[in-house]
Copies of this chain bind each other. A is one copy, B any other.
C-alpha cells in the first residue's frame, strides 16, 4: 500500500467535488480527487446532461404536434433513440475526458478508486492496481447520491428500471409506468411520450412536483393529462415487479396496473455506506445523509458538499457549496454558509421553474404572504408557438414598506428560460416599484414575468 499526503482530499468527482478540486489546486493546495466511477458524477453521466440531450434532440416533436393540430404542419417524423444515444454518449465521453484533463492540468491528482475512511485523517483508496493510503489536512466529502430503492420495488434492469437503466434503452417501450412525480419522472415521461409511449405516472404525495405549490402542480397535471398521460397522485405503491407480461405495479389498495416497462424515480439515497464515515467521526442521519453544521462541516477538518449532505440535490447547489468550502479553507470567509436563493428547473415541453421560496414555505415560517400571477396565454412568445398553458407566479412577503419578492415559480413551455432573471430579482428582493428598473425586450417570455410581478396582489 502506497502512502500519500495531501492538503486536501476530495471524495467524489461530480459537480461539487470537481469544482472544489479546481479551486483548491488553483489556490496552490496539494489536492487529490478520488472517484470510484466516472468523472462528472451523476449529473454528467446518468442525470441532468443525458436527459437534456435526449430532450434537446427531440424538442421539435411536441412543437410539431401543436402545429399539426392547427393544420399548419403535416407529415411524419420518426426518431432514432439509438442515434440520440450515440450523440449523447459521444458528448458525455468528451466532456468527461476534458474534465479529467482540466483537473490534471490544474495539478489535481485524479485517482480512480473506491475510497473509505480508515480514521479521522486517513482514507484508503482501492484501485485497480492496488491500494493507497491518503493522509489529509482537510477532506471534502462529495460522494453524491444514487437512486433510492424500496422493498418490493427493486429495479431489476429487466422491466423495472432505475434512471440509469432507462437512459440506456435502445427501443422505446409501448407503455411506461413511472413511480415518482419529481423532475426525473417528469422528464423521462416527456421524453418517451415523444416516441409515442403511453405514460402513466404515480406519485404517493398529493400532487406531482411535491415540493411546489399546488397550483403549479395542478396546471402541470392538467397539461399532461391533455397530452394523454394517466396521472395517479396520493396513491402508495405496494409492489412493482417484472412478470412474464412486463411490469406489474400493485397499489396499496390492491388494484394493479401494468406496462411494458416501469421506471423507479422516487427519491435518492446518499452514496455513503461504503465510505465508513463513522471511522472519521462523521455523523449521519438514519438514511445515511451526512450531518453538517452551518459551515458545511461534518467533523474536524471534514466538510460535506452536494447531494451527500442532503440539503439540496442539485448540481449547481453542490458547486456553490464547494466554492464556499474552498474559500473557507483558504481563509477567505469565516461566515456561515449563506442560504442562497436556489433556482431549480424541470425540463421538457411543459417545464417547471422555481427560484426562492414557495408560498407554503413562507406561510409555514409565519410570514404574511401575497402572490401575483400572469397566464402564459397573455404572452406573445408563448402564443407564437401555440404553447400557452401554464403561468408565472410571484410570491411576496410583507415586510418593512411594500411587499418584497421572495420567490418566483412557473410552469409552461420554455419557463426554464426565466430562471436566471427570476433568480436575480428574488436574490435582490425586488419590490413592486423595482419592476420597471429594467426594460423588458418585446416580445419575450420575460414579459410574462413582468406581467406576473405587476399583477394585482392576491392572498396566498
Contact = CB atoms under 8 A, between A and B. Distances in A.
Interface string A423-446: 111010000000011111111111
Nearest to A426: B438
Contacts of A437: 427
Interface in A412-460: 414, 416-421, 423-425, 427, 436-446, 449
A446 B419 contact: yes
Interface string A368-411: 00000000000011011110000000000000000000000000
B83 A71 contact: yes
Interface string A136-157: 0000000000000000000000
Contacts of A48: 380, 442-443
Given A53-B384, A442-B314, A78 B87 contact: no
A43 B87 contact: no
A427 B323 CA distance: 27
Size bracket, chain A contacts: 35 or more
A317 interface: yes
Interface in A52-73: 52-53, 55-61, 63-64, 67, 70-73
Contact of A420 (B58, B71, B344, B441): B441
A316 interface: yes
Could you say how many copies of this chain the assembly holds? 2
A438 B425 CA distance: 10
Contacts of A91: 383
B444 A419 contact: yes
A332 interface: no
Interface string A24-45: 0000000000000000000100
Contacts of A189: none
Contacts of A419: 441, 444, 446
Given A73-B78, A79-B73, A80-B71, A427 B417 contact: no
Contacts of A446: 419-420
The 3 A-B residue pairs with the shortest CB-CB distance in the complex, in nearest-first order: A56-B384, A420-B421, A56-B385
Given A341-B439, A416-B444, 20 more contacts: A49-B443, A52-B380, A57-B73, A59-B385, A60-B63, A60-B64, A64-B77, A67-B84, A70-B87, A72-B84, A73-B77, A75-B75, A77-B77, A316-B439, A340-B439, A419-B441, A419-B446, A420-B440, A423-B438, A427-B437
